[in-house]
Amino acid sequence: MARATFLLPAAARFGGQQAGAEVARALGRADRAQAGKEGRRTQLRRYFRLTPDHWPVAALTRQMDAGDAAASSWLRADPAYVRPDINGARLLGIGASLGLDEEDRAAFLPALRPLFGDAGFPIDAPHPARWYLRMPQGAKLPVFAEPADALGADLFDHLAEGSEGRRWRTLLGEAQVVLHNHPRNTQRAAQGRAPVNSLWFWGGGSLPDAVASPHAEFHSGDEIALALADAAGIARALPGTFAIDADDAVFDLQGARDLAALERDWLLPACATLQSGELRSLVLDFADGRQWTLAPRQRWRFWRRPLARFGA
């Protein structure tokens, strides 16, 4: 019998939405535990072991995008949209959320190459939404905030601090001048798209010696998760609905917000395979650290009350 795991956002993301009777009954009978601390990074680290133990997102995604990450250290310098407001400047878009295409890459990158080349950090973009700086060996980097922590917030609250961060704040300011004056942003505005008027530095580091996972397959549409799974040799695209074809598969559903759609496409089909005996367990792993396990033997727990809401 197979085993499946669903990676889900924090239960609070589903608000007061309620599951139907069958799923509520299964949830009420499930085993519950606290798997670890909250957060997306912590959630992913439960499924991948990196040697050495660090979190070099830029190197991992670079290897997925271009296959050349092993020879250097890398830093993401993703295109971003910053909007000035009365209190400063708010970060409203990074990378893929800006709808970048090949024309954007061909326009913006040549304008930025002299700036970063002179600084000793060549810039390129094997993917239109993922831009990279190649770092010199042994380069020391400050702590950079991840996009999820900075989006929607004041830009200046999340810039690199200290003496090491000063150089990067200066480079960011110079890059913003280049991008602000770029004619491509006039074209994007005419197309109803947000300008690319800033960059976001993050994810620095070198490729791990090894990435391993105890699971046979990892299905995801998230770039970091796919890069980890690709490095572990188990990456798969995320299907539209639940189907089990491996002994131990993980399905990354961190973007789910509609409980009715999650129930229809994933939870009900998974519960059916539990009842038929094809699946020995289904783990629901929430980004807030909670973990629920559903198993066929739990059908005898008829005295337990149904649980219609994840947040209950």
Beta bridge partners of 154: 90
Asked whether the whole model's pTM tops 0.85, one would answer yes
Per-residue pLDDT tens digits of the chain, which is 312 residues long: 799 999 999 999 999 999 999 999 999 999 999 877 889 999 999 999 999 999 999 999 999 999 999 989 999 999 999 998 887 889 999 999 999 999 999 999 999 999 999 999 999 999 999 999 999 877 889 999 999 999 999 888 999 998 889 999 999 999 999 999 999 999 999 999 999 999 999 999 999 999 999 999 999 999 999 999 999 999 888 999 998 888 999 999 999 999 999 999 999 999 999 999 899 999 999 999 999 999 999 888 888 899 989 876
The pLDDT value given to residue 85: 84
Cβ atoms 90, 82 nearer than 8 A: yes
Residue 86 has a pLDDT of 80
pLDDT at 156: 86
For residue 8, the model assigns a pLDDT of: 97
| Bond from prior residue into 269 cis (ω within 30 degrees of 0) | no
Which of 2, 86, 50 lies closest to 207 in space, CA to CA? 50
Interatomic CA distance for residues 138 and 168, integer angstroms = 17
For the record, the structure tokens of 61 come out as 């995604």
Provide the 8-state DSSP code for 205: E
Among 172, 182, 171, 176, residue whose Cα is nearest residue 197: 176
Q: What is the pLDDT of residue 117?
A: 97
Instruction: Give Dmax over CA atoms of the chain in angstroms.
Output: 70
Kindly report the number of other CB atoms within 10 A of residue 124's CB atom: 16
Is residue 179 within 8 A of residue 196, CB to CB? The reply is yes
Provide the edge-to-edge strand list for the sheet that holds 279-286: 31-34, 290-294, 279-286, 2-8, 248-252, 217-220, 235-237
Residue 222: its pLDDT value, please? Answer: 95
State the pLDDT at residue 236. Answer: 87
Residue carrying structure tokens 């129930």: 263
Q: Where are the domains of the chain?
A: 2-53+210-300, 70-206
